[in-house]
Amino acid sequence: MYLNQFLFLAAFLFCVGVYGVLARKNAVLVLMSIELILNAVNINLVAFGAFHDTVAGQVFALFVIAVAAAEVGVGLAIVLLMYRNRHSIDLAEADLLKG
């Protein structure tokens, strides 16, 4: 089995995710990009687990998925409140912490 293909896929997904987080204005898309990053990591974990013939990688990936679900729940709630208060989910406008 070739580990490289999985690692390349994961790296590609990771880069797409980072680009999404940094470049997108839409808060929901940023959340989705974070999911991409997490899933890129998951692919890595499962791939290395299969490579070393253990289930540890899969178990770890399951944990990551569970935590990601919680993170999305909180994140979407924030986005919802942001929309209610400002009628916009543009991250560029949410700069109240500007020094």
Give the binding site for other proteins (CB under 8 A): 18, 21-23, 30, 91-92, 94-99
Residue 38, CA distances (Å) to 5, 68, 74 in order? 18, 7, 16
Q: Which is nearer to other proteins, 18 or 50 (CB)?
A: 18
Residue 53 CB, shortest distance to other proteins, in Å, is 25
d(CA 95, CA 47): 40
Residue 26 CB, shortest distance to other proteins, in Å, is 11
Q: Name the 3-class secondary structure at 2.
A: coil
Q: Which is nearer to other proteins, 21 or 43 (CB)?
A: 21
Q: Which is nearer to other proteins, 32 or 50 (CB)?
A: 32
Judge whether 40 and 14 are in contact, CB under 8 Å. yes
